[in-house]
Amino acid sequence: MRLFLSSHLSLFFITFIQGIFVFCYYWFLGFQELDHLFYVFIIQILSICLYLVYRWIQDFKLYRWLQEPQQEELHIPYMGKSALGESLHERQCIITQLYENKLHKVQSDLNERITFIDQWVHQMKTPLSVIHLMIQDHDEELFQQIRKELYRLEDGLKTVLYSSRLSLFEKDYTIGKIPLQSFMNEIIMENKRLYIQYKILPKTLFPEETLFVYSDKKWLHFAIGQIISNAVKYSANKSDKLIFRIEKQGKRILLVIQDFGVGIPSQDIRRVFDPYFTGINGRLYHESTGMGLYFVKEIMNKLQHEIKLESVAGEGTTFKIYFS
């Protein structure tokens, strides 16, 4: 109602001015019967009020739609019987159809690109596996460096694959019951080559009682792998310790991954989860892309796990993941 009245405020003003003009005009002509003059003025006011009531009935749904909270889904309401309402309805239908067609095209292009990336990544895995087989019986320094670069290639391919799928996360996840200790032992064993290359000794502090969490195993595996990769990379030549700890805190289960590497400067901590942010350490370690921790934060948000980061420059970094 407020929007309707404010949009017709000028009509009220013009009608009032017109009424005063008619009143003054007849008064100066000598027609000074106040009863008749007020009668004409009141008839004019009533006529405009009836007109506004008619317009309100005609455009009621249109004004109600304009004052409704914005909705994310596409919705085309019926906007009343007036010529304006019907014209707006038709226009909205056309615009919505164009928008849906463009959205479907973009979605189709995105799906094709994701399919291509998936196929390309899987094709690249084959030559990497062949190279691993070719050098597995050699322990010379040269082959150690080759294994290190192969790991970087594999980690990069995995990052590309999951980054392409992240936009379709809602269609590609399954929540299940995961025994956290055995799950973490599996991830630690998968990264044993990385520990050997960077001379890191992982240590587990797990309770004897098996603790279960509910999450998507594949996405959680990738996120924790990114944290471990960062921890190892920034601990090289600084520390040989990497601690994994699991503990129960009330109704929540806490997973802690703690390294004793270079740490994160205080001015960078609040931005480490931003995309493409590398900070001071990224300028010292040029292989940093600034995307790993961004993916970790996005995945944890989508899985509804709380993640916290604590770090002191020169002393190390601690990641805490809370499972409810």
Q: How far apart are CA 116 and CA 96, in angstroms?
A: 30
DSSP readout, 84-129?
Answer: HHHHHHHHHHHHHHHHHHHHHHHHHHHHHHHHHHHHHHHHHHHHHH
Residue in 267, 143, 224, 161 with CA at minimum distance from that of residue 232: 224
User: Which of the residue ranges 170-179, 219-228, 306-315 would you say has the lowest mean pLDDT?
Assistant: 170-179
Predicted confidence (pLDDT) per residue in 54-79, tens digit: 777 767 666 676 666 655 555 566 66
32: confidence class by pLDDT, cuts 50, 70, 90: low
With a pLDDT cut of 90, the percent of the chain lying above it is 27
> Average pLDDT of the chain?
82
Give the residue-averaged pLDDT of 218-222: 93
Q: Is the pLDDT of residue 315 over 60?
A: yes
Rounded to whole angstroms, the Cα distance separating 63 from 50 reads: 18
> CATH 3.30.565.10: which residues of the chain?
174-323
Confidence class of residue 316 from pLDDT cuts 50, 70 and 90? very high
Q: What is the pLDDT of residue 257?
A: 96
pLDDT for 111-147, tens place per residue? 888 788 888 888 888 888 888 888 888 878 888 888 8
Return the pLDDT at 69: 65
pLDDT grade for 212, boundaries at 50, 70 and 90: very high
pLDDT at 16 over 60: yes
Check whether domain 174-323 has CATH 3.20.20.70, yes or no: no
**What is the predicted pLDDT for the residue at 228?**
93
More confident residue, 205 or 275: 205
Tell me the pTM.
0.65
Amino acid at 210: T
Contacts of 317 (CB under 8 A, 6+ apart): 230, 231, 234, 258, 259, 261, 263, 264, 309, 310, 311
Of the two residues 108 and 91, the one the predictor is more confident about is 108
The whole-number pLDDT of residue 244 equals 97
Q: Are 195 and 232 in contact (CB under 8 A)?
A: yes
Summarize pLDDT for 227-246 with one digit per residue, the tens: 998 898 888 888 889 999 99
For residue 211, give the DSSP letter: -
pLDDT of residue 305: 95
Contact predicate 316/263, CB 8 Å: yes
271 has a pLDDT exceeding 80: yes
DSSP state letter for 321? E
Question: What pLDDT, on a 0 to 100 scale, did the predictor assign at position 206?
Answer: 95
Confidence of residue 297 (pLDDT cuts 50, 70, 90): very high
**Is 34's pLDDT higher than 70?**
no
Statement: residue 181 has pLDDT above 80: yes
E strands, the chain, in order? 176-179, 201-205, 212-215, 241-249, 252-259, 306-312, 316-323
**pLDDT band at residue 164, thresholds of 50, 70 and 90?**
confident
